[in-house]
Structure 1
Amino acid sequence: MRAVRVVSQDADDPLSGLSVEDRPHPEPRTGWVPVRIVAAALNMHDLWTLRGVGHPAERVPMTLGCDGAGFAPDGSEVIVYPMLGDGATGDITLDPRRSMLSETVDGTFADVVMVPEQHLVPKPPGMSFAEAATLPVAFGTAYRMLFTRGKTAPGQVVLVQGAAGGVSSAAILLAKAVGATVYATSRSVAGRAFATSLGATALVPGGRLPEQADVVIETVGAATWGHSLRAVRNGGVIVVAGATTGSMPPADLSRVFFRQLRIVGSVGSTLDELHRTVRLIDSSAIRPPIAGSFPVERAREAFAALLAGNVPGKLILSFANDAAHPRLPSDNRIA
């Protein structure tokens, strides 16, 4: 089968360690099932792995990919939930030994991936495989940030920092879907135009909001942290799930305590949250923005586009496994 692999890591030249190659089909594993991938979405996580950030060298080579959608063994159309853990905490995102597909086991950038049987989420029939493949990481993370950690409610004001990012653009769409007023920042004209197309009022980073935010979605870090603190209302919440521009900005603790702000962290989503994310998207007729789709053989081009940045929407790898609508054997063997 075809697979997109990290075979070496280089912080300065991450694409030098990218390989598209033929691999044996995965071995059966008790409690796990094979999913024949039709579409998979790129994430910054994949690029960090190629750079060697958060991914030990001893786990290389490894098949990349956290997001994917395809066919279960019975032929049903499914979305793959990507987070792994032992379940002891009850909330997998709090498991100190949690991992993602492509971190400790091969990921979704392959014709077939093995996943725990309970990690299959039904794909809505009206949603394309490419759209479905964008949901687990970006939309699942945004859902948890907004509703589980941020307690966003209809009619509230939400500020999303860094609108062009996958999680940020997902947060705009999900917040709009429940009736929130959404403002979003981007440093580029194209990014602000993209935010506007998603239904947000676009601002330059640091721009003054017409009203203070109840909830701030923060994935940018140092470059926007001061603005997030100024833009949120007294008693409001800043939900942090990333720090792409640095994780050590001035804390400004006097502002935090004087205005009684809540600052909460958020990581990924639970399986239940992904189910709820899919239901919300399906019922709201949201269409995840897709910037481009590449056949798996052109994976390097897709990664080059991700590396270049300023991609308005998600990049997709297509595995063209949908033509035969295959049924995989129930005993986990791969034909």
Structure 2
Amino acid sequence: MKAAVVREHGGSDKLNFETDFPDPIPREGDVIVAVKASSLNHHDVFTRRGMPGIKIPMPAIMGLDVAGEIAEVGPRVIGWKKGDRVLVDPINRVEGGLLGETVHGGLAELCRVPAHQLIRVPDGVSFPDAAGLPVAYGTALRMMNTIGQVANGERVLILGASGGVGVCCLQLAKLAGAHVVACAGTDAKAKRLMEIGADKTINYTTHDFKEEIYKMYGKPTRRGTDRGVDVVVNYTGGDTWVKSLKVLKVGGRMLTCGATAGFDPKEDIRYIWTFELKVMGSNSWARSDIEKLLELVEVGKLKVIVDKVFPLKEAREALRVLEDRESFGKVVVAP
């Protein structure tokens, strides 16, 4: 089969298109999925580069998010048949492991998956839209709803709002009735964020988001409980961390699910105790989160923002676009 393969860790040149990679063979309980779409995530960048403490079997086929049709059903599989439209929950919640990391993923024509990881895709949801959901949108749903409990009337600041997680966080916050300030690195991305529902935007390359929030809502004080924002969504880390603490009002919440700009930022815990802040971590998603997302997309309450769809032979370029932050929303590869 054709596949985009990593045979050693390193830069973008380590992801190569191959035309004769061995086809997967179903084991007991497995199905073979003919991949129709696989969306990329920053996790794929980390997998290609190599992650400290995580052993990646080589050769590796990345792509955590996989949507397609069942091409073959293995022994003892019940309830599924050839041709069924499916989305894969990337986490193997029975044996362990992660699709596109410890086992071969979606950057290939075919993908072997245990049947218990399959989720049925409604006819009204396209394969690129379905593939955009598990990692980014699933993470956003858990962070905003289950953990953060963003509510009507709250002020929410979203950093990195133009990425896959960010555009979903924005939409979920608006569905909850919140007032959203979205940050992006270009005026063009800021404009698109307004188009999908942001109330205000900040270009963080030309403006200090902390100072801009102070202008909009005032500098938080112990006595002025209506100054600042209720929630900051920060999965960038790095030099944005302390600034994020400084814009939260008394009792405010910092929500985080990652650290794309650095996991060990400078800290200032004085703000945490002085303003009684809550720093709330959120990790991955539940299967029910993916099912809920499919329902929201099917009825039109949630839009999957797909920026670009690349053919499989251009998977290296697709990952580069994501890595260099040139995309808005999701980047999808369609074999």
Question: If the length of structure 2 is used for normalisation, what is the TM-score?
Answer: 0.85
1:303, CA displacement in angstroms? 2.3
Match of 2:213 among 208, 213, 223: 208
Provide the secondary structure at the position in 2 that maps to 1:224: helix
1:142, CA displacement in angstroms? 0.5
Pair 1:178-2:176 in alignment: yes
* 211-220 or 288-297, which deviates more: 211-220
1:55, CA displacement in angstroms? 7.3
Could you say which residue in structure 1 is the equivalent of 2:297? Answer: 281
1:62, CA displacement in angstroms? 0.8
State the alpha-carbon separation in 2 of the partners of residues 58 and 315 from structure 1.
23
Q: What are the equivalent positions in structure 2 for 1:201-240 lying under 5 Å apart?
A: 201-205=200-204, 206=209, 207-208=212-213, 210-211=216-217, 212-240=228-256
Provide the secondary structure at the position in 1 that maps to 2:43: helix
1:249, CA displacement in angstroms? 2.2
State the alpha-carbon separation in 2 of the partners of residues 55 and 43 from structure 1.
20
Q: For residues 82 and 55 of structure 1, do their structure 2 counterparts lie closer, same or farther at Cα, with a shift above 3 Å needed?
A: farther
On the 8 A contact 1:172/1:199 being kept in 2, the answer is yes
1:231, CA displacement in angstroms? 2.3
1:127, CA displacement in angstroms? 2.0
1:242-294 deviation per Cα after TM superposition (whole angstroms, max 9, x unaligned): 11222222321111012111111112111112112222333344321111111
1:20-69 deviation per Cα after TM superposition (whole angstroms, max 9, x unaligned): 22222212223332221101111111111111135756622111110111
State the alpha-carbon separation in 1 of the partners of residues 126 and 159 from structure 2.
28
Runs of 4+ in 1 over 6 A off after TM superposition: none
User: 1:173 is matched by which residue type in structure 2?
Assistant: Q
On the 8 A contact 2:3/2:108 being kept in 1, the answer is yes
Provide the secondary structure at the position in 2 that maps to 1:148: helix
Q: Which runs of 5+ in 1 are unaligned?
A: 88-97, 320-335
Q: What are the equivalent positions in structure 2 for 1:1-335 lying under 5 Å apart?
A: 1-10=1-10, 14-21=11-18, 22-54=20-52, 56=54, 59-72=57-70, 73-86=81-94, 99-200=97-198, 201-205=200-204, 206=209, 207-208=212-213, 210-211=216-217, 212-319=228-335
* 142-151 or 291-300, which deviates more: 291-300
1:148, CA displacement in angstroms? 1.1
Provide the secondary structure at the position in 2 that maps to 1:208: helix
Number of residue pairs the alignment of both structures matches: 306
* 73-82 or 50-59, which deviates more: 50-59
Q: For residues 208 and 102 of structure 1, do their structure 2 counterparts lie closer, same or farther at Cα, with a shift above 3 Å needed?
A: same
State the alpha-carbon separation in 2 of the partners of residues 110 and 292 from structure 1.
18
Q: For residues 99 and 159 of structure 1, do their structure 2 counterparts lie closer, same or farther at Cα, with a shift above 3 Å needed?
A: farther
Provide the secondary structure at the position in 2 that maps to 1:62: coil
User: 1:150 is matched by which residue type in structure 2?
Assistant: G
On the 8 A contact 2:33/2:111 being kept in 1, the answer is yes
State the alpha-carbon separation in 1 of the partners of residues 151 and 254 from structure 2.
15
State the alpha-carbon separation in 2 of the partners of residues 243 and 42 from structure 1.
17
On the 8 A contact 2:92/2:98 being kept in 1, the answer is yes
On the 8 A contact 2:239/2:266 being kept in 1, the answer is no
State the alpha-carbon separation in 1 of the partners of residues 93 and 285 from structure 2.
12
On the 8 A contact 2:56/2:102 being kept in 1, the answer is no
State the alpha-carbon separation in 2 of the partners of residues 55 and 302 from structure 1.
26
On the 8 A contact 2:39/2:131 being kept in 1, the answer is yes
On the 8 A contact 2:190/2:201 being kept in 1, the answer is yes
* 269-278 or 203-212, which deviates more: 203-212
Provide the secondary structure at the position in 2 that maps to 1:238: strand
Q: For residues 59 and 285 of structure 1, do their structure 2 counterparts lie closer, same or farther at Cα, with a shift above 3 Å needed?
A: same
1:226, CA displacement in angstroms? 2.2
On the 8 A contact 2:56/2:101 being kept in 1, the answer is no
